[in-house]
């Protein structure tokens, strides 16, 4: 099977079984999504979704959050991983949104990564979810699933994985493919004991073929 055939199979499978895949983070506007994605670093979406309602009620936009102290933000997010750093990031991010972007979330990766707490992965998530730009955010799920299935070859870093995925996914599917791979990794192709017996991608998966061959 060629890599092109592997990608085509995967796209057709998910178009049939999960055509409307989307982020599991809860938000009402670009600013709220940006806050949620910053908080989601090394933290579950479930935990973030439990935390953000109180944040958004008190600080619904960049203007209000820019006036918040780091201490106040910390109190609201202390149940999340790395709350000290993330409270500082939220405070700095909201201030820079006001100063440099008129309080609006910019929609280019290069502009977004100038904000505190926003790396390439976060910027890719925001631009792909809000604007459906063909940007591929690579988290641990995307990295693992892509390698296991055989979508990537010898990709040692998230950036290398991103480049290979962008190269092979048609642009119009990239923003959805991000969610396909994340959700597949979260619920089926899990890290320790992947649920290969219920996976619809067995026939194209290098990991499954190798395990099956050795069993």
Among 141, 205, 123, 207, smallest CA distance to 177 is for 141
- At residue 211, the pLDDT reads 83
Structure tokens at 66: 């820019």
Rounded CA separation 127/74 (Å): 26
d(CA 49, CA 69): 22
- pLDDT by residue (tens digit) across 89-115? 999 999 999 999 999 999 999 999 999
Locate CATH 1.10.1670.10 in the chain: 3-21+135-214
Q: How far apart are the C-alpha atoms of 111 and 130, rounded to whole Å? A: 15
Does position 1 have pLDDT exceeding 90, yes or no?
Answer: no
Rounded Cα distance, 194 and 26, in Å: 27
- 43 labelled binding-site residue: no
Q: Has domain 30-131 been given CATH number 2.120.10.10?
A: no
pTM score: 0.92
Report the pLDDT averaged over residues 146-165. 96
Catalytic residues: 121, 139
Q: Considering only CA atoms, give the Rg of the chain.
A: 19
Q: What is the CATH number of domain 3-21+135-214?
A: 1.10.1670.10
Read off the pLDDT band of 19 (50, 70, 90). very high
14 pLDDT higher than 80: yes
| 141 pLDDT above the threshold of 60 | yes
The pLDDT score that the predictor gives to residue 215 is: 54
Mean pLDDT across 57-71: 97
pLDDT for position 74: 97
Average pLDDT value over all residues in the chain = 95
Tokens of 191: 């890290």
- Every domain range in the chain assigned CATH 1.10.340.30: 30-131
């Amino acid at each position: 099977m060629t890599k092109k055939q592997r990608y085509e199979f995967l796209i057709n499978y998910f178009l049939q079984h999960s055509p409307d895949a989307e982020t599991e983070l809860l938000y009402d506007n670009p600013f709220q999504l940006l806050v949620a994605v910053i908080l989601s670093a090394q933290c579950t979406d479930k935990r973030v979704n439990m935390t953000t309602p109180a944040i958004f009620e008190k600080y619904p936009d960049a203007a209000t959050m820019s006036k918040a102290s780091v201490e106040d933000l910390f109190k609201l997010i202390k149940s999340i991983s790395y709350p000290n750093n993330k409270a500082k990031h939220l405070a700095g991010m909201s201030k820079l949104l006001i100063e440099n972007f008129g309080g609006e979330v910019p929609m280019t990766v290069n502009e977004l990564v100038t904000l505190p707490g926003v790396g390439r992965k976060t910027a890719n998530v925001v631009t792909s979810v809000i604007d459906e730009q063909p940007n591929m955010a690579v988290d641990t799920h995307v990295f693992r699933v892509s390698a296991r299935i055989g979508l990537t070859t010898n990709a040692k870093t998230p950036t290398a994985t991103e480049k290979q995925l962008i190269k092979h996914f048609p642009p119009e599917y990239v923003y959805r493919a991000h969610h396909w791979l994340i959700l597949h990794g979260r619920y089926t192709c899990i890290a320790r004991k992947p649920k290969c017996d219920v996976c619809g991608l067995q026939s194209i998966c290098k990991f499954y073929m190798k395990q099956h061959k050795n069993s």
